[in-house]
Amino acid sequence: MSDTHAQSVAFVRNTEIPPSLPPDTEGGVIKWVRENLFPNVLSGILTIVALYFIIRLSIFVVPWIWNGVWGADSLTNCREVLGGKTGACFSVITDRWHQLLFGAAYPRDLFFLSTMTGVPVADLVTPGGVRENTNFFQEFFFGYWRPVLAFVLLFVAIAPVLFSELPRKMLITTAIYPFAAFWLVWGGSLWVPVTILASLAIAYFAYSFVVNRSFFLGALSFLAVLILLLFDPIAMLINAAEFGRNSLAFLGWQRAENALPWVTVMEQNYPWLMNIFPLNAHVVEGLSTISSVSLASVPSRELGGFMLNMILGTVCVSLSLPLGILLALGRQSNLPLIKWVCVIFIEFIRGVPLITLLFVANVVLAYFLPPESNPDLIIRVMIMITLFASAYIAEVVRGGLAALPRGQYEAADSLGLEYAQAMRLIILPQALKISIPGIVNVAVGLFKDTTLVSIISMFDLVGLIRGPILASTDWNGVYWELFGFAALLFFVICYAISQYSQWLERKLQTGHR
Amino acid sequence: MKKTIFLGTLTAVGLVAGAAAAGTLDDVKARGTLNCGVVTGLAGFGAPDANGQWQGFDVSVCRAVAAAVFGDPTAVEFIPTTGKTRFTALASGEIDMLARNTTWTFSRDVDLKFEFIGINYYDGQGFMVPASLGVSSAKELNGATVCIQTGTTTELNLADFFEENNLEYEPVPIETNAEAQQQYLAGACDVYTTDASGLAATRATFENPDDHIILPEIVSKEPLGPLVRHGDPEWGDVVRWTLNALIAAEELGVTSANVAELAEGTENPEVNRLLGSEGNLGEMLGLEADWAKNAIMANGNYGEIFEKNIGENTPIGLARGLNAQWTEGGLIYSPPFR
């Protein structure tokens, strides 16, 4: 300390006075409440009204949840336990969780469950059909390991797509995932997904062989090889003929008696999978005689619950994204044929409600296609939802393309890039970035729209609640608990998607909006 | 019961493109399973249980037919249908028969080109009111607010009934049975009207069922039965006589417990013909001689099926009423097995 003023002044304070506390009204909780809840008269009134409603609501909801009954075996039993108190009957969820998640009849893997828990297979189910001797975790992870594993692997597979920091080699898991998931959920011979995957790999090889010459040629050869490998061209012709013939008949032309006898042969011999991939079917048959690796096959009809919503959601979003981008590009094309096909497709699909398309998938296609070659209802529904979503995504992407300054297109041209290169390297990366919020919006909407399949009698989460569970004499009359559970599941997924997209937008923010 | 004109027309048009011409029985046998259209879920009549096994009054008919054809009541593929998709599913050949509490009406039989093969439940539209309303007859309901499902025949029946009796009412339109339950319990309407079986099932789920009464008036005829497509009488016969076998079995005292024993041969020639120890009825249908025995063993006779799924000892708690055997004052009646 300096002694400069030691003679002239008696006292010099050489430390800072500690800051005094703000007045009580200007700090702490009181300040926060005043500034946020009661800044002026109008807000004050609104706060009081809101508080009133929140309290009224929680007076009902809190005891309802708090008194909730978890272990009862029917609604009547729940009411006995509650004895007149207000309370939820969450027992319906503990009793039927496996149906809500995996569908009314998705089979448990009893063998695996028994191996892991040490309970003999015979003791897992009573003669009356009641599941016993296992708890939730054992059943969830061992009994339903196939769909659960498929769900877990979904995150591994989409991680490299969602997060560009992850090593690019992880994209291989993304490529393999659809086949692995198909095998896990539907079961059957391992050779089915493997041969399809192999066909794709060969087609990709053909693509990489030609792509140096031109991207367009590469894509073309990819498709050509794939079609040759997967489809039996003759069978395709036959099906096309049958489809046309039935369409004519539907429009009023009678079909000639005894026409096309070979069609009946096809009708009898091809279930849907064989019909879609006939050549593969032969290869699979051959391989299966050498070595058969297979999971118990599950018919599509037994898929349901939230799993069905997840399957429809992920499959349709991931298929509609590339299709939508192609449609958006097609709509901007200079070639009149492509342009008008795309315009008509988009405008038609956007002009028709999704439920109408679903009815077409369920009901009308049954008339056009021969009964045995008619693909599974779930495949028909996937196709319809994908078409529907792709039209919407196409319009979102078109918005992104239109927002790009003209100079970007010209810059690509002046670099001498051909159309495919320009789009892939310059235009789309920017246009898609702009379109992210719109695409996410469509994806979230689409995911929730998958519950519409309950109207065409599929047992998705909502269909299961409205059908089997509310029709059972045990649980007829339980509404809030079931629909609340469904809402919770959907909220978790949709909120996660929305958070991801916000994170992505922030990350891609390059500052020149 | 619901009916959509558009889909009905579509069904009729669709028939031009129509179902496979070959015999349905041959198709079913070749396939190895029966495709049976059922309801997506209706208490007591049809729904998958906690293990995904289909159970119910209508479902039992499917199982009996499968047992008659294959000797195996599990050889059924149950295809859930809604009120809107059921007729197209049948007309397009996606299902072989429909057992989905469907009312037999003229236009469905003639215009939509289906073949109702019999009646397995005589239903009718009734009214439910809170006991506190102090009403004992539907004719005292002047000025009542009525919860009614839109787009169903019940809506038309209601209008007819109130007009006939010079009564006023105010309809509260609702979409589904679940919604109706909520609205009725919340007091949005004084009266809930739908089929009597549905009312009984709904009432059974209430917290205090005794606070609500079902009025004695039944204002419509709703004969519910299984149906098949027009144009394949052989297949229609198989389904029709399977249902008749269940009904005749109850009349003749054949139950799931004693059918195996009675099939060895009895004093009663009709039982013998039914169970195949005498005559060749099975062969006439294109089935095995023990077809009816298998059908009865699947779920029991008509009375057993009724008692197990919707009878008085179940939560649904329906009395036999019109659905008793004709010998006991009901309408259930099978032509003779001869």
A177 and chain B: CB distance < 8 Å anywhere?
no
pLDDT tens column, B231-281: 999 999 999 999 999 999 999 999 999 999 999 989 999 999 999 998 999
Would B335 be classed as within a structural domain?
no
pLDDT at B17 over 50: no
Does residue B26 sit in the same domain as residue B116? yes
Domain that holds residue B190: 125-220
pLDDT tens column, A455-495: 888 999 999 998 899 888 888 888 889 999 999 999 999 99
CB contact under 8 A, B94 and A96: no
Q: pTM of the entire structure?
A: 0.84
Provide the pLDDT confidence category of residue B51 given band limits of 50, 70 and 90: confident
pLDDT tens column, A154-181: 999 999 988 888 898 999 999 999 999 9
The residue written with tokens 């926060």 in the block is A32
Does residue B307 sit in the same domain as residue B159? no
Residues of chain A with C-beta less than 8 angstroms from the C-beta of B93: 366, 371
Would B337 be classed as within a structural domain?
no
A163-172, A218-227, A275-284, B47-56: range with lowest mean pLDDT: A275-284
pLDDT of residue A25: 78
Does residue B112 sit in the same domain as residue B233? yes
pLDDT of residue A50: 96
pLDDT at A313 over 80: yes
pLDDT of residue B294: 95
Does residue B28 sit in the same domain as residue B152? no
Distance CA A59, CA A54 (A): 8
pLDDT tens column, B287-330: 999 999 999 999 999 999 999 999 989 888 888 989 999 999 99
CB contact under 8 A, B82 and A456: yes
Mean pLDDT of A23-30: 82
Provide the pLDDT confidence category of residue B151 given band limits of 50, 70 and 90: low
CB contact under 8 A, A363 and B88: yes
Does residue B72 sit in the same domain as residue B206? no
Could you say which of B220, B248, B270 is where a domain stops? B220
- Of the two residues A395 and B88, the one the predictor is more confident about is A395
pLDDT of residue A213: 80
Provide the pLDDT confidence category of residue A266 given band limits of 50, 70 and 90: very low
Does residue B154 sit in the same domain as residue B193? yes
pLDDT at B156 over 60: yes
A116 and chain B: CB distance < 8 Å anywhere?
no
Architecture per CATH, domain A302-513, reads as Orthogonal Bundle (1.10)
Would B338 be classed as within a structural domain?
no
Would B334 be classed as within a structural domain?
no
Does residue B86 sit in the same domain as residue B203? no
Does residue B136 sit in the same domain as residue B266? no
Mean pLDDT of B150-161: 83
Residues of chain A with C-beta less than 8 angstroms from the C-beta of B178: 466, 470, 479
CB contact under 8 A, A129 and B53: yes
CA distance A473 to chain B (A): 6
pLDDT of residue B20: 43
Closest residue in chain B to residue A473, using alpha carbons only: B43
pLDDT tens column, B95-125: 999 999 888 989 899 999 999 999 999 999 9
Distances (CA, A) of B300 to A63, A129, A194, B321: 47, 19, 47, 20
A69 and chain B: CB distance < 8 Å anywhere?
no
Amino acid code (one letter) for A322? P
pLDDT tens column, A97-109: 999 999 998 988 8
Give the number of other CB atoms < 10 A from CB of residue A236. Answer: 14
pLDDT tens column, A114-134: 888 888 888 887 776 677 778
Evaluate whether B225 touches B338 at the Cβ level (below 8 Å). no
pLDDT of residue A150: 96
A49-63, A273-287, A466-480, B127-141: range with lowest mean pLDDT: A273-287
Buried residues in B277-286 as b, exposed as e (16+ CB within 10 A): bbbebbeebb
CB contact under 8 A, A103 and B52: yes
Q: What is chain B's mean pLDDT, rounded?
A: 88
Query: What is the torsional sign of CA A314, A320, A321, A322?
Result: positive
Does residue B71 sit in the same domain as residue B166? no
Does residue B48 sit in the same domain as residue B171? no
A198-202, A411-415, A487-491, B32-36: range with lowest mean pLDDT: A198-202
Does residue B113 sit in the same domain as residue B25? yes
Could you say which of B220, B253, B277 is where a domain stops? B220
pLDDT of residue A453: 93
Give the number of other CB atoms < 10 A from CB of residue A9. Answer: 8
Closest residue in chain B to residue A245, using alpha carbons only: B17
pLDDT tens column, B205-232: 788 888 999 998 889 998 999 999 999 9
Would B277 be classed as within a structural domain?
yes
Does residue B83 sit in the same domain as residue B211? no
Axis crossing angle, helix B291-299 with helix B57-70, rounded to the nearest 10: 150
Q: Any alpha helices (H) in A231-300, and if so which ranges?
A: 233-250, 261-269, 272-276, 278-290
How many structural domains is chain B composed of?
2
Residues of chain A with CATH 1.10.3720.10: 302-513
Choose the closest CB to B41 out of A76, A249, A470. A470
Looking at residue A89, the DSSP 8-state letter turns out to be B
Evaluate whether A70 touches A94 at the Cβ level (below 8 Å). yes
CA distance B168 to chain A (A): 31
pLDDT at A347 over 90: yes
What CATH code is carried by the domain that includes residue B274?
3.40.190.10
ipTM of predicted complex: 0.83
Distances (CA, A) of A83 to A77, A87, B114: 10, 10, 50
Could you say which of B202, B220, B238 is where a domain stops? B220
